[in-house]
Chains A and B, each alone.
Chain A
Amino acid sequence: MSVHEPASMKPSGPQRHGGGFSEAALAEIQALRPRYPTTEALLLPVLHIAQREWGGWLPDEAIAAVAEELELPVAKVYGVVTFYDLYHQKPVGRHRVRVCTNLSCQLRGSEEIMETLRQELGVDEDEITPDGRVSYVHFECLGSCDTAPMMMVDDEYHENLTPNRVRQILKGLK
């Protein structure tokens, strides 16, 4: 499969809400309600929305806003947030890189892709570059094993990587 077009679910950068959701997000949540017989079932979709609203991660303020919107205990929301890999509890770079390092990618050089990121960005895994531009992590299988090694940048798949290709991709991230 070829490199994907950028998708629209990308974090849109840090935003301030004074503790709550934007009007647009509230409308989005409202539109989801008829889909489920319980309010609790909205939790995963609403956390995705919240994470987008709060610049790619879920500070306590976001967790509280989700709990209030869905009338759920904060502890319950927190428990769900900590269970899933795609919800982040600390700030991330403007661009978030996930490198698949599972077996199929390991057999095709993913460790060298991780090395390249470390060298090029000068920070360790799960840290943010000083300019706030990028953070990167290794990740479990992303379902692109035939085009290994691969990584996701935000929601975009980059496949058949080489260290040079990774350098080019990093240069293109603003």
Chain B
Amino acid sequence: MAFERVLTRNVGKPEALTLKGYKQLGGYEGLAKALKMEPDAITEEVKKSGLRGRGGAGFSAGLKWSFIPKGKDKPKYLVCNADESEPGTFKDRLLMEFDPHQLIEGCAICCYAVQASTTYIYIRGEYTRAAEILEAAIKEAYDGGILGDSVMGSGFKLNMYVHRGAGAYICGEETGMLESLEGKRGQPRVKPPFPAVVGAFGAPTVINNVETLCNVPHILVRGADWFKGIGTDERNTGPKLYAISGHVERPGTYEYPIGVTFRDLVDGCGGMLKGRPLKAFIPGGASAPLLTQEHYDIKMDFDTVAKAGSMLGSAAVIVMDDTTCMVRSVARLAKFFNHESCGQCTPCREGTNWMELMLKRIEHGEGTERDGQVLLSICSHIGGNSLCALGDAAIGPVKSLVERFPEEIDRHIKERACPFPHRRYFENGA
């Protein structure tokens, strides 16, 4: 599929790591243009572009910015969510490691639009390499007059810092992230108040994902109409990174217009691994319910995937072939959610634990005929009953397993063992 890469255009060009090289590649033109505009006009342009959050929720970025109160009585913050921890997701790491200035530019434009004077890039603690690359790029940006007391000579003041997390998925939830940034356990807050009103350190705060912010310079340079021309429809616009893993020939991060079909994604990866048939796929990270064969031609945009009963989420696509045991796969995801539940809300803390225990039991051939129903009952007790989205995310894969693959659960129970031979991936250690 022919498509001019936007977000990943500098990947594979090592010069993009330096300020000089990035500028030669057309960098910081978006920021230069933004600084000559009225801040509100930037927000309007981003709103008009239809850009929706790339972290998972898909909320309008421009609308989010417009919620920030005007006036200078309080400091305002931008927190860039670089806590990429959703299993299957590795697109933001690519953006940060290969084109750090694109992110800095996006952050700077956002800050000018909402008149925030500080950006914290909250990056997951494991991404030490990306953190170092960002630190080096930020230093160069300060030295080159892009950041600091007068951004590109405009008189607008902006500081930018990298803040490393310490290994907790929940800190990717926006209010968990704010707690963590403030030096606390990353337990999500009650909303409202929303971060746009009471965010970091009690001040109005925008929280945007890395990929979302990386879109912004291009919207400024090429206009909202250009951006809207890419994608499925008015509500699903722009370029999108798809992080594809599992049983395909060439896993990787691929950039397409949003709304490319799943079939095109797999074909772009050189097809299914060893040509085996598809059994299931997860369209948007561990939190997204499973889709199957019948969704091969689904358009991978926010609304189409939602209509199919799943979610585009972070567009982390995990592909599973016909040798995959679905119980084993979902049991692994259940283990993840149990480990990462912050423990604040009882339905999520207890429910994720029970889901993991039950799925392991079924996988080990010790399930009972009631287990499918009990799992659904646990799901119904978690759903909508916890403060943040983690609980709802945790039930996605489990519910879809029971609903879409009841015969696999039955076979585990009737045969009193996992019916799928444990696949060995490596022969003779090779």
Which residues from chain A sit less than 8 Å from chain B, CB to CB? 1, 4-5, 7-9, 35-38, 40-45, 47-48, 79-80, 83-87, 98, 101-104, 106-109, 112, 116, 140-149, 152, 155, 157, 162-164, 167
Contacts and interface: CB of A to CB of B under 8 A. Distances in A.
A42 B181 CA distance: 9
Please indicate which of the listed interface residues A4, A41, A44, A162 has the most CB atoms of chain B within 10 Å of its own CB. A44
Nearest to A104: B245
A91 B86 CA distance: 28
Contacts of A140: 85, 87, 169, 336, 339-340
Interface of B: 75, 84-90, 92-94, 97, 124-129, 132, 159, 161, 163-169, 180-186, 201, 243-247, 251-253, 282, 286, 316, 318, 320, 324, 328-329, 332-333, 336, 339-340, 342, 424-426, 429-430
A102 B129 contact: no
Nearest to A142: B126
A95 to B, nearest CB: 15
A103 B87 contact: yes
Please indicate which of the listed interface residues A35, A79, A104, A109 has the most CB atoms of chain B within 10 Å of its own CB. A104
19 contacts: A7-B128, A37-B201, A40-B182, A40-B184, A42-B183, A43-B183, A45-B164, A47-B166, A79-B185, A80-B185, A84-B125, A84-B165, A101-B332, A104-B88, A104-B251, A106-B328, A141-B85, A143-B126, A145-B90
Given A7-B132, A36-B201, 11 more contacts: A43-B184, A83-B186, A103-B333, A106-B328, A107-B320, A109-B425, A109-B426, A143-B84, A143-B90, A149-B425, A162-B430
A155 B129 contact: yes
Nearest to B429: A163
B186 A141 contact: no
A103 B89 CA distance: 11
A157 B129 contact: yes
Contacts, number: 167
A108 B132 contact: no
A83 B318 contact: no
B184 A104 contact: no
Please indicate which of the listed interface residues B86, B128, B163, B201 has the most CB atoms of chain A within 10 Å of its own CB. B128
Given A48-B166, A102-B336, A146 B425 contact: no
A49 B373 CA distance: 49
A4 B246 CA distance: 22
A32 to B, nearest CB: 9
B426 A163 contact: yes
Given A7-B128, A45-B163, A109-B426, A146 B329 contact: no
Contacts of A149: 425
A8 B128 CA distance: 9
Contacts of A83: 168, 185-186, 342
A7 B129 CA distance: 6
A145 B243 contact: yes
Contacts of B132: 7-9
B166 A143 contact: no
